[in-house]
Structure 1
Amino acid sequence: MKRIYITICFLAITISMFGQVFLQANNVEAENSVFTKQILTSHTNSSLISVVNIWEEDFSGGFPQGWSTYTSNTQAGFATCPWNWTLDGTWGYWNGNGGTSPSNSINSTTASNGFLISDTDSANHYSYGQPSGTTYQYIESFVTTSAIDLSLHPAVSLEFEHLFRYNNLGNPSFTPPTVYVSSDSVNWTPFLVNGNVSSNSQSPNPKYEIINITSVAGGQSTVYLRFGWVARCYYWMLDDIRIIKTPDNLLVCQDEAIGGWWIGYQGPAGGLGQDYTSYPLTQAIANPYAFEAVLLNNGAATQSATMHAHVSGAGNFSTTSNPLTLAAGEQDTVAATSMFTPTSTGLYNIDIWAEADSAGNGTVYTYTDTATKATIVTDYVYGKDNGTDDGGYWRLNRVAPNPGGLEVSSSYDIYADATLYSLDVHISDWSIPGAEVYVVLYEEDLSGGDPIPLSQSDNYTITQSDLGAWVNIPFVTPQLVTSATKMYRVAVGANIHPTDSVGVDMSDPGSYYSSDGLFDKDAILSNSTNGPRWYTISDIPMLRMNFDPSTIVDVADIQETIFSVFPNPTNGVFTIELDVKTAEYDINVYNVLGQTVLSTVTSSMKTPIDLSSFDKGVYTVELKHRETIYTEKVIVE
């Protein structure tokens, strides 16, 4: 099966179409406005299995007697992080409170009784004083239970609730959250419990786990549990641990996909088979929705499992997979026997779940949770983000520690020939008005090389109204993208500038499968030792293809500016002079933080401005008439 791990590491990428390493962020408005948090996958519990408790710990008595914690700094530093009992969340510096108060506490069933935490971010901050700085080191942190007698219980499962976040998934120095089980405290069997949570993303709060540990712990008189990881940032919280009798019938449906990612990811027309949250109708007809999931038998009995998918909303459709026989502890990937081809635009909700017939007599004994995904079939917009900037951002240019610019990119499968006119980009709200960005179209090199540049737009100047909003950036000429080429990559970038910094917002991938990247075109990152380099990133850029012909701009009609400022530089007093008087203009002046320092209106050819009472620095002068905005920079010395 194909899996994707997207974060910082020094490994060759295996799921993208080029060599890279991993890193850790009008008509257009009409189609973009329908995106809400509903795009994320949600799960509803439909399982009614009764549970028999054998052993449990809710930490109501503090750190349990007989348990032990171990920690060491794997880089020979002095920051360490033992597990502690707490009623708080993380005290890490990253949370915006400067490490002065806790945040992000686990919402477990008995959180009010206390829980355990490994707060590596806080440990590094208080040792080295850096706010998530480069001096942070990897810390090994484990907590181990006392011996648990399971000699009378031949089939057992481990359940617990936890909350975690990390930022170095894939780095060889990092070990994700892991549960270790042993019957002698010497030999340990590991179970990874980080699921598909990507770097710089918090897990569900709480994340529920159930692991069949019969093969290690069933019938054993001395069983030990160990929870541990090796991390440098963020936190891991743990609560409500219990060992239960493994039910005969327990099925888990996970890693649900709607684009054909797991088995048939080549699709009818080729490509990666990514999950698209906005899918042009022409592409959806050429490559219909394909439903897949990974089914895991967590029960003690062999189960005959079948995945179900149901589409509702703008259309209705149902399908199932072929039955799959799974022995206890076995898992496999399944795909529905039919695909869904939409016939109209609109919002579609897709429910995916599984059922198991443990007796093999045609009677359903087990229902899994139901995963619900949402996707919008559009006329023109092609995207993979969930419509919210919950994945942070990527800064596209910087001056320190190494100056230069970056490009953030996203791969797209092309199943039907189309004409690409522009890209939609969501600009970070901290960006500086007057900063310039551009967009690029690449062809993916299916042989494994770097993407091949095809076209680049003119620079687009960011205005105050663009901050925290979608902007549409057209290519100079329309670009034909073909199904024969199969895959393209689109990017947004910026060049180095001493004051004008700009960013693109990112969307948390949740459980949507996507291939995205970053191009260090000026070799400013520490891993780019041999020049410009491509990387893979975890979150999905808020960067969409737009096939709408009305978004193309006639280059002959573009006027860069209609005014000038003089003197420039100035002591604070200067004049705005219009090239031609055509209308009344709103004048706004912004500082480098994007704050408005002066607003006025003019219809004169010359307008005096006085900024002498403000700090020295670079200011953006903006003239606006209706929906047209012009900007210039002025330096106050």
Structure 2
Amino acid sequence: MNSTRTLTLLLGGTLAGAIQAQTATQFDRHSPKDAPDQQMHATQLTPPAVRGGGSAIWSEDFGNGFPAGWTVQDMSGICPWVWSLDGSYGYYNGSQGASAGTAIASTTAANGFLIVDPDSANNVNYGQPSGTTYQYLDSYFTTSAIDLTGHPYVNLEFEQFFRFNNTPDLEVKVSTDQITWTTYTVQGDVQPNQTSPNVDHVSLNISSVAGDQATVYIQIGWSARVYYWMIDDMRIVDAPANDLRLTNAWYDEWFFDQADDFGTLEYATYPATQVRPMHFKGMVSNQGFQDQMNVTLQADVRDAANNSVYTGTDMTSVLSPLDVDSLYPTEWTPPGTTESYKVVFTLSSDSTDATPDDNMLTKRFNVAPYIFARDRDSLTGRYDNGGDAYELGNWFNIVNNGDMLYGVDVAVDDDTPTGVIFSALVKDGNRDLIDVTDEHEVVAADLNAGGDHTFVTLPFPSPIPLDAASDYLVMVQHFGGSDNLWTGISGTSVPQTSLIYDTPTDTYFYLTSTPMVRMNLDPSIGLHELGDAGERIGGPFPNPAADQTSFTCLLDHAVQRTDLEIMDASGRLVRARHIGRLAPGSHRFDISVQDLEAGVYLCAITLDGQRTTHQLVVRK
């Protein structure tokens, strides 16, 4: 199934459902997409007390309220930045706005901080449901002029706590005249509908705009419809001479406009038969004011016992101040054995770094016998479609022939009522349907609270052969209605790689949070037990069949005699086959039905006197 596929892209627009969950973005079938630019994004840092640069040139801890001389730009008139001691009064926080949520845990939170609270403003002014009533509210604040004369290399630092949904940018703008602004975004890697660390420490090198300038203005804000953003303990410090930063790292990398398939995605769990080369990459920047010589990125792969099993490196001879570069340690292919790995990325140079804590990142992945997963195995959120029917899941890529897809694993959030019916399905690289699993009715044991990782396995009627160099879209399917199926999400997805199909509008959207929907390649799925001796039979597949059908047999011990019989609807024996002794392990029996007339047949398999029967439909 090595089919031609047109990758697809954001058109704009949002899906109105999925309240309190990840909102999707429309998935277009034609336009190209640029790879994301990481250069202007902040990264989470260690507390300011251990940052380089010494004492502050300028600072504001909001101990005297909203600073005199600062201005607020509240375009809606209902959602200004304000000084507060409280967290958000948004409807989402469990009290429906009657009391405040968690406040920022900043260094000087006790004397107040700034907050913008669109969730509260929208709820008070427009009411519920937020998915249809809430508006985007533009809100910014601007400092008075700051004199940085004599300080050519400067960093802006502050502490923040936030949550957002949809796709707003958390913007920090710097200007010397309040006409021309340089914009930085500071949401980092926090994904929609996820809470940031409390606190998140931001450091931005603003030397190119503000260095040695007599008048500098800082403007901070966003256009958002839900949740909150809190800021405290702002300061500007001298940038250190030597300050490398590892802004992001990957053990594999996929870009929409550079990939023919989904083979190089960062999968969380690889089946042992589908391991592939890891293409390590790190995005590095020089935040100091001196050239950094022999900048080296090391990728150290460690097993579950913390033993180093592989080390790769890459180097650039010179990295100039404020430059950003990508380094690619030599690739590595994990062995096809069960293991949990972590990749420790470490950045170094010939100089002693002023802030070494931001020179290391760790990423993790697993190799398992049969599970192929994108999610991170711990429920952090959930997704529904506001009562409408939907399909939700992830793209996967197969690199080796020989595997069969036996089922789909799905994690269900505990807001789902028991009794809800759902199924799963798989589509090919063109998003054409291949097959649908049996339906499943939710029971209490299926449900997951935050942090849980219980999966429901939905078997396909017949195993599905998986072809090398082919993409497959694996999705959970809910039929809609007043009882919603809340599907668990865990981890983050590159845009265009996790999708929801909105059935009422016949439209695909992508998500940037990962649905807990997996491929399961375990051949024991759907097998029938034959007593206590460990014999399991699966099949027939395909069923109905026209030319050939097959059975699988998984044995824990040897079987001395194996017989297969086929009877027609009248009970007449039309096929008998003595197979004989079978060793422990997996076996497959292929049976030609070309000479059988169309109709319903009964297949019987007997292993050492233990018998199981299966219905077979023959079509011509």
TM-score, normalised with respect to structure 1: 0.71
User: Any idea what SS the aligned residue of 1:289 has?
Assistant: coil
The answer for the alignment partner of 2:211 in structure 1 is 218
Which has the higher Rg, Structure 1 or Structure 2? 2
C-alpha displacement of 1:332: 2.2
Amino acid at match of 1:515: T
C-alpha displacement of 1:444: 1.8
Give the alignment of 1:8-87 within 5 angstroms: 9=13, 18=29, 49=52, 51-73=54-76, 80-87=78-85
The answer for the alignment partner of 1:435 in structure 2 is 420
User: Any idea what SS the aligned residue of 2:524 has?
Assistant: helix
The answer for the alignment partner of 2:397 in structure 1 is 413
The answer for the alignment partner of 2:362 in structure 1 is 372
Amino acid at match of 1:311: V
The answer for the alignment partner of 2:268 in structure 1 is 277
Q: 1:536 to 1:349 in 2, by over 3 A?
A: same
Given candidates 366, 378, 381, the residue that maps to 2:371 is 381
User: Any idea what SS the aligned residue of 2:464 has?
Assistant: strand
User: Any idea what SS the aligned residue of 1:322 has?
Assistant: strand
Kept in 1: contact 2:346–2:359 (CA 8 A): yes
Kept in 2: contact 1:357–1:364 (CA 8 A): no
Given candidates 483, 500, 520, the residue that maps to 1:518 is 500
Q: Deviations over 1:74-116 (max 9, x none)?
A: xxxxx62111111111111011111111113222222222111
C-alpha displacement of 1:455: 1.1
The answer for the alignment partner of 1:467 in structure 2 is 447
Give the alignment of 1:261-410 within 5 angstroms: 261=254, 271-284=262-275, 287-304=276-293, 305-314=295-304, 316=308, 317-323=310-316, 325-342=318-335, 344-357=337-350, 367=356, 368-390=358-380, 392-395=381-384, 398=387, 404-410=388-394
Q: 1:311 to 1:42 in 2, by over 3 A?
A: farther
The answer for the alignment partner of 1:492 in structure 2 is 476
CA distance in 1 between counterparts of 2:28 and 2:142 reads 42
The answer for the alignment partner of 2:524 in structure 1 is 550
C-alpha displacement of 1:319: 1.7
Kept in 1: contact 2:56–2:235 (CA 8 A): yes
Amino acid at match of 1:507: S
2:537 is aligned with 1:533: no
C-alpha displacement of 1:371: 1.6
C-alpha displacement of 1:322: 2.6
RMSD value, Cα:
3.3
Q: 1:501 to 1:154 in 2, by over 3 A?
A: closer
The answer for the alignment partner of 1:502 in structure 2 is 485
CA distance in 2 between counterparts of 1:348 and 1:412 reads 20
Q: 1:80 to 1:503 in 2, by over 3 A?
A: same
Given candidates 176, 182, 190, the residue that maps to 2:183 is 190
C-alpha displacement of 1:52: 4.0
Amino acid at match of 1:470: F
Kept in 2: contact 1:43–1:370 (CA 8 A): no
Kept in 2: contact 1:357–1:366 (CA 8 A): no
Q: 1:387 to 1:257 in 2, by over 3 A?
A: same
The answer for the alignment partner of 1:448 in structure 2 is none
CA distance in 1 between counterparts of 2:32 and 2:480 reads 23
Amino acid at match of 1:176: D
C-alpha displacement of 1:278: 1.5
CA distance in 2 between counterparts of 1:459 and 1:434 reads 12
Structure 1 alignment gaps of length 5 or more: 23-40, 74-78, 170-174, 399-403, 446-450, 524-531, 558-637
User: Any idea what SS the aligned residue of 1:455 has?
Assistant: strand
CA distance in 1 between counterparts of 2:78 and 2:301 reads 50
Q: 1:297 to 1:364 in 2, by over 3 A?
A: closer
Identity of aligned residues (%): 35
C-alpha displacement of 1:288: 2.8
C-alpha displacement of 1:513: 8.3
The answer for the alignment partner of 1:623 in structure 2 is none
CA distance in 2 between counterparts of 1:290 and 1:17 reads 28
C-alpha displacement of 1:45: 9.1
Amino acid at match of 2:278: Y
Amino acid at match of 1:473: L
User: Any idea what SS the aligned residue of 2:158 has?
Assistant: strand
2:113 is aligned with 1:94: no
C-alpha displacement of 1:457: 1.2
CA distance in 2 between counterparts of 1:7 and 1:346 reads 40
The answer for the alignment partner of 2:581 in structure 1 is none
Count of equivalent residues: 495
The answer for the alignment partner of 1:591 in structure 2 is none
The answer for the alignment partner of 1:482 in structure 2 is 467
C-alpha displacement of 1:430: 2.3
Kept in 2: contact 1:419–1:479 (CA 8 A): yes
Q: 1:374 to 1:279 in 2, by over 3 A?
A: same
Given candidates 145, 169, 175, the residue that maps to 1:176 is 169
